[in-house]
Amino acid sequence: MDLEITDLDTERAERLLLSDLRKCALLLDIDGTILDLAPAPQEVWVPTELRNTLSRLEDLTGGALALVSGRPLHDIDLIFSPLQLAAVGGHGAELRVVPGGEPVVRGLSLNPVLKRKLAALTELGPGILVEDKDYSLALHYRLAPDKGETLRAAIQEICASAPRGSIEVLPGKLVFEIKMTGINKASAVRELMTYPPFKGRTPIFVGDDTTDEPVFPMLSQFGGLGFSVGRVVPDVNGHFENPESVRGWLTRIANRRQSTLNQGAAP
């Protein structure tokens, strides 16, 4: 599906969603996509309106709304509490098909010895923060952007001691994330689309970071659409300027779809 990167494609996705949300599946990355990035991962804030919008969209889609994140599921649930939505966690290491359901574990946790070695890299300077995501370890340098290359080299040196091909280093927005190979968001989304209520639907995915990029090209297998946030990347159908614009778009869809349903129910 070769479409130009224009606002028309965003409008096309909106028309598709408004026509019948129960024929679509909404797949949303979290950090940098529906939530604004924060200096530290623990400082992200979920606006009340977004919680309400996600809850309404979860109902309007019949449960076919999933959060797709590098964060583990328990972290996702804490951030969005009391919501407990379908989700892909740990970059595909965890998969929860239905809201509140038991997750399927698809990947191995990172070796704790390797984690400790990597966590010690915070000694490279103030502003380097470590985030343990169970299945991966993230080293953020948003508060120390000048340390990026030094941190990259130190990570590569440590990971070189692991069995060849067993470890993957994912560069992101002022962060390096280290995880076991063999799992990613794209494979998890592909699996998610084989289960009800996602099966047979048109997926619409929104993501912002390099870890989201493998998802975009595989959406065409399901006739889906993909949208990036903050920048245009290959294989997307359009893009949003920032998370605020994504939140506004989702709220508009929920409001308009609810209004259409209310009108249809009126005597």
- Known catalytic residues are 29
Concatenate the DSSP letters of all residues of 8-68 into one string.
HHHHHHHHHHHH-GGGEEEEE--BTTTB---SSGGG----HHHHHHHHHHHHHTTS-EEEE
Q: In a 3-state reduction of DSSP, which class is residue 120?
A: helix
Residue with tokens 């040196």: 157
- The two three-digit tokens of residue 227, written as one number: 């949208």
| Percent of residues in the chain assigned helix, strand, coil, to nearest 5 | 40, 20, 35
Contact present, 107 and 90 (Cβ < 8 Å): yes
Residue 84 DSSP code: -
112 alpha carbon, distance to own chain's centre: 25
Record the tokens describing residue 63, joined without a space.
Answer: 């449960």
Structure tokens at 112: 């704790």
3-state secondary structure of 166: coil
Residue 248: exposure state from Cβ atoms within 10 A (0-12, 13-18, ≥19)? middle
Sorted by sequence, the CB contacts under 8 Å of residue 106 that are 6+ apart come out as 92, 93, 94, 95, 183, 187, 188, 191
Q: Residue 142: what residue type? A: R
Question: Which helix (H) or strand (E) is 221 found in, with range?
Answer: none
